[in-house]
Chains A and B, each alone.
Chain A
Amino acid sequence: MSEINSEDYKGYRGVALNTLQKFNSPVWSDVEIITDDGNYKGLILPRSETADEFHIVLKLPIGYNIGIAAEKIKEVNIFGRREAKYKIPEKDFPFDPKKPKVKLLGTGGTIASRLDYRTGAVIPAFSPGELYGSVPELADICNLETEKLYGVFSENMGPEQWIGLAEAIGKEIEKGVQGIVIGHGTDTMHHTAAVLSFMVQDSPIPIVMVGSQRSSDRPSSDAALNLIHSVTTAAKSDIAEVMVCMFGPTSDLYGLLHRGTRVRKMHSSYRSTFRTIGDIPIATVSREKITPLRDDYKRRRNDNNVKVNAVFDDRVAIVYYYPNMKPDMIDSLIDNGYKGIIIAGTGLGHVNKPVYPALKRAKEKGVAVYMTVQTLWGYVQMYVYDTGRDMMELGVIPAANMLPEVAYVKLGWAFGQTNDLQKVKEIMLTPIAGEITEREPSDGYLIYQGGLPEVEEFIKQFRK
């Protein structure tokens, strides 16, 4: 396959590329294409790289696109060139000395996005001017500054970005902003929220993570309202914690403010995908106001002091246990030099007996093993059954009601500070930001079962 080294034939290869080159008609040419079956007028568009090599994409004058088989093309008449300028109208973000200053740090994600012809998917777009152009309501809330730290999808966020983000937050706090908003892809938002909760401690201001489940190139996107909610929280709330701010219901009604260590993405596509697990959220936020649901949050302060401890050792892993798991799953981690393993066990925190020798070996090799539960809700309790007791004998440490992902980032953060397993254990089991709670309130676990008459009655009364 020939290498494409020109923007002129963006995305095209093989037969389609040869045809376009033969007729000297690069993308954005305004053309009439003559084929055996008929003639088509339109604009030649770039092609997604993942699409096949046999078709040419034409935008018809009515705005629709069609693909024409390259082999059918007899002739191409070129009338001119018209390139799409996909740009959100930029307007200067207004400054009002009476309004609080909020910093928006961008990492990527679909909170603000535009079309990417390379992949045919959406890519992030981001500047205060662009944001003001698309969500003018933001100017009623604060003076907004933005900084694009990274431009990655959330699955590509990792230790390097976490550390960079924590350090950037520290600098902003020292400079004296009233609140920080972090734009983030939603897939791993809860990982980042958790790690920031450990890396940035005792913040005097709100640190609010936000994203969107429907990209902002859609009229029904949740991006605008999520942005409004998160900026409102950063500017006005007295909650000085790392939070995730996303839709409460799927309706455009209000957002929930989740504690960074207790939140999880629970649906692959719903707007109201983020839920606080094993506890209740800190507050609700609407366009008008923030309504706390509890009182035990850290309050906003007037100083610029913050503890930033941005370290991470990535030789840690999560193992999601399944019946019939073989010990080599654990062995391979030991052999590859991992320092710590989080197991998401069944029920109260169990794995099967055949894995035991591997656990024993981990202990001997000085690999820390912590147990969490794949039920997500509830505590690890290894005394109830013999299996649990046996495993503790083998050095497995129960991690209370820490969520598996939270335990994972905490373990990496702990090994970033020390290799002393005893110290790591102290760090792991000492609650820092609500990742382990002493008690699970009765309404910390609520998954209503659809179909039950009383549940249906409830759903009918309140907008979903």
Chain B
Amino acid sequence: MPARHEPIFDRYSVWRLLKESIDGNRGWKQAWRKPEPKARYDVVIVGGGGHGLATAHYLASVHGITNVAVVEKGPIGLGNSGRNTTIVRSNYLLPSNIRFYEYSLRLWEGLERELNYNVMMSQRGQLSLFHSASERDAAVRRGNSMLIQGVDAVLLDREAVRAMLPFIAMDNPMFPILGGLLQPRGGTARHDAVVWGFARAANRRGVDILEHCEVTGIRCESGRVVGLETTRGFIGAGKVGIAVAGNTSQLAAMAGLRLPIETHLLQAFVSEAIKPLIGCVINFGAGHFYISQSDKGGLVFGGALDGYNSYSQHGNLPLVEHLMSAGVSMVPALSRLRVLRQWAGMMDMTMDGSPFICRTSIEGLYLNGGWCYGGFKATPGAGWCFAYTIAKNEPHPLNADLTIDRFFEGRMIDEAGVGPKPWAQ
């Protein structure tokens, strides 16, 4: 049995940067170790994305459970954690969603200090524009829901939007801009940094991050999970938490569970880098189009799903055409800019558009999934709640509604009123 590694930890600061630069940057240590699997852990989290790593971090830091492994079939953070549009916000309509995402947003606000890692959380505001009276009414209902829950929201009229975003088209014949609902505390964060920051922080507390370790089976004995079959051998586990966005149905099927989830494709795009043009995150109702500008200068934008079940991670042109049309129609300045790169992620789309953080019918097996395309902003909140649920074997009030049972009971959390059509959520 290999000797247990001493947790290594480089504290980051400007002084440390200075010191290392004098040494030619040769003194930096690995941000996380690459250990061999142990025979057994108290908790094994399947999925080394932001959610899985955050869960491991909070299991260790909040609940003192440090005999934890995160198993990941590839390298960490290359699933949806590394394929999103980096938006962070809590501007939801339904109270249970507002409470959960607001808690997550508060965690975001302290994440740099919590992790000693600059995740570049940038609260430049998130503005959802409305194009009709009925969309305005829905925005007012939503904004008031937020304010009642103590979340920041500001209603902007048409002139205020024009003043804030002088470059947008106010008068499209079918999508005039009547105003917008602004969440000033919304914004973006650097997606990869969140993964690396949680990995480093979890590693520091002794969590083993096992990359290139694919789960091939979930071993249960008399209704209770006992461990995982993996490509790096059997790993015993007291408890197992699944956090494998996109592949949730596949993992659950290994334990005989059939979930109300379909896997769908979502594309995103980034333009060539330009000098600052767009300050806040903007979301247009027209054709479902959202855009922000990264610190590096690229305009990051996306829209709706391609609209059919897919695990392919590559998108097709109908959505591209529609999205570019919507983009140029709403932000004419985009027309002469160039799109640099396109990518796609696999979304766990649920039947009401809301996620799961819950126990399952198998003792010791817990589920975090179904994030549709809202998973990135949930990263710290989901990790925190999932860690709580695993540690206490019961949900925290923040995630008490996020169960699979809600569909048996008729307690759907359907923000958009779309119903059980995952491809249209």
Are A and B physically bound partners?
no
Interface residues of B (CB under 8 A from A): none
Interface residues of A (CB under 8 A from B): none
